[in-house]
Structure 1
Amino acid sequence: MSRQYLVAGNWKMNGGRAANAELITGILAGVAANASVEILVCPPSVYIDAVAQQAAGKIKVGGQNLSEQEKPGAFTGEIHGTMLKEVGCQYVLVGHSERRAFYGDADDVVAGKFKAAQSLGLTPILCVGETLQEREAGQTEAVLARQLNAVLDLNGIDSFANSVVAYEPVWAIGTGKTASPQQAQDAHAFIRGQLAAKNAKISNSTRLLYGGSVKADNAVELFSCPDVDGGLIGGASLKAADFLAICAAAQSQKG
Structure 2
Amino acid sequence: MLEDILKQVQTGTLTIEDAKKQLATFENLGFAKVDHHREKRQGFPEVVYGEGKTKEQILAIVQAIRANGNSILVTRISEDKASHILKEFPEFTYHEIAQILFWRKEQSTVPKEGYIAIVCAGTSDLKVAEEAAITAEALGSNVRRFYDVGVAGIHRLFNHIEEIQQATVSVVVAGMEGALPSVVGGLVSHPILAVPTSVGYGANFNGLSALLTMLNSCASGISVVNIDNGFGAAYNAVLIHQLAQKGEGQQ
TM-score w.r.t. length of structure 2: 0.33
Asked which structure has the greater RCO (Cα within 8 Å, sep 6+), the reply is 1
**Which of 1 and 2 has greater Rg?**
2
TM-score w.r.t. length of structure 1: 0.33
**Structure number having the greater helix percentage:** 1
